[in-house]
């Protein structure tokens, strides 16, 4: 039996990048996956098609996680389709790399609204709608522990996610595990865009394996945290960064 057989899993922001690979690997392990997206309808449907073509089960549901009413609909549509939600993976996020002085109010609001308020909204829904003995995985970032110039607001938003993770793990009860997964630098189109080869090489040389992570490196950890094998881990931040920090 596959380790995620009969589990219904929502993965926010899973039309591309790390979220897409997480969705694909969850499905390969037997889960029924909700591919959530905000604007990337074409990519979301491609992710669903990839999963179905490989023998998995998935549907795409649109919802902007920064909007509470849409998050409510995301959960309600999932429950209407499959009767339950067993696992929530909060992957949706944005990153704007600028110095504090160069960030605009719009830059600040966008990152806080999606990265922090988005997680707040889904946790509120999960409080009453996630199945007993379920799992919640909030995607953070290893930049929280680093002092990278231009990452202040992004790192601050992820630090907020990590603290919500710790506290919510003690609030929700019902046998539900709540953890954060903090990747290091990962080879995605979003991450690589606009970065010089020199900077990419510098990041690669900071970990023990002298390379960037690939999305599947992160997805495999997410599969474990979504499974019953991880049940005694809760309130933790799991760094998946190749000994970066």
Q: At what angle do helices 152-171 and 118-129 cross, to 10 degrees?
A: 10
Whether 37 is a known active-site residue: answer: no
Cβ–Cβ under 8 Å, residues 207 and 241 = yes
Distance from C-alpha of 19 to C-alpha of 81, rounded to nearest angstrom: 21
Distance from C-alpha of 122 to C-alpha of 102, rounded to nearest angstrom: 30
Please list the alpha-helical segments (H only) found in 93-146: 105-111, 118-129
Residue of 188, 177, 7, 18 whose CA lies nearest to 91: 18
Residue of 228, 16, 240, 34 whose CA lies nearest to 134: 228
Catalytic residues: 154
């Amino acid at each position: 039996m596959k380790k995620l057989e009969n589990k219904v899993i929502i993965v926010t922001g899973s039309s591309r990048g790390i979220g897409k690979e997480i969705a694909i690997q969850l499905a390969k392990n037997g889960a029924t996956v909700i591919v959530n997206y905000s604007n990337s309808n074409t990519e979301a449907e491609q992710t669903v098609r990839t999963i179905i073509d490989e023998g998995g089960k998935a549907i795409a549901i649109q919802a902007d996680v920064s909007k509470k009413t849409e998050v409510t609909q995301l959960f309600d549509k999932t429950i209407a389709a499959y009767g339950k939600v067993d696992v929530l993976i909060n992957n949706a996020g944005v990153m704007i790399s600028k110095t504090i002085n160069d960030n605009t109010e719009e830059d600040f609001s966008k990152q806080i609204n999606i990265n922090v308020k988005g997680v707040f909204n889904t946790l509120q829904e999960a409080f009453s709608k996630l199945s007993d003995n379920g799992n919640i995985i909030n995607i953070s970032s290893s930049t929280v522990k680093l002092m990278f110039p231009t990452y202040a607001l992004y790192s601050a938003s992820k630090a907020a996610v990590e603290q919500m993770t710790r506290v919510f793990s003690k609030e929700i009860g019902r046998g539900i595990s709540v953890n954060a997964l903090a990747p290091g630098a990962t080879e995605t189109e979003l991450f690589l865009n606009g970065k010089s080869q020199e900077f990419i090489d510098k990041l690669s040389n900071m970990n023990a394996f002298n390379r960037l992570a690939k999305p599947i490196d992160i997805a495999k950890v997410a599969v474990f945290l979504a499974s019953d094998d991880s049940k005694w881990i809760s309130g933790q931040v799991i760094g998946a960064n190749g000994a970066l920090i």
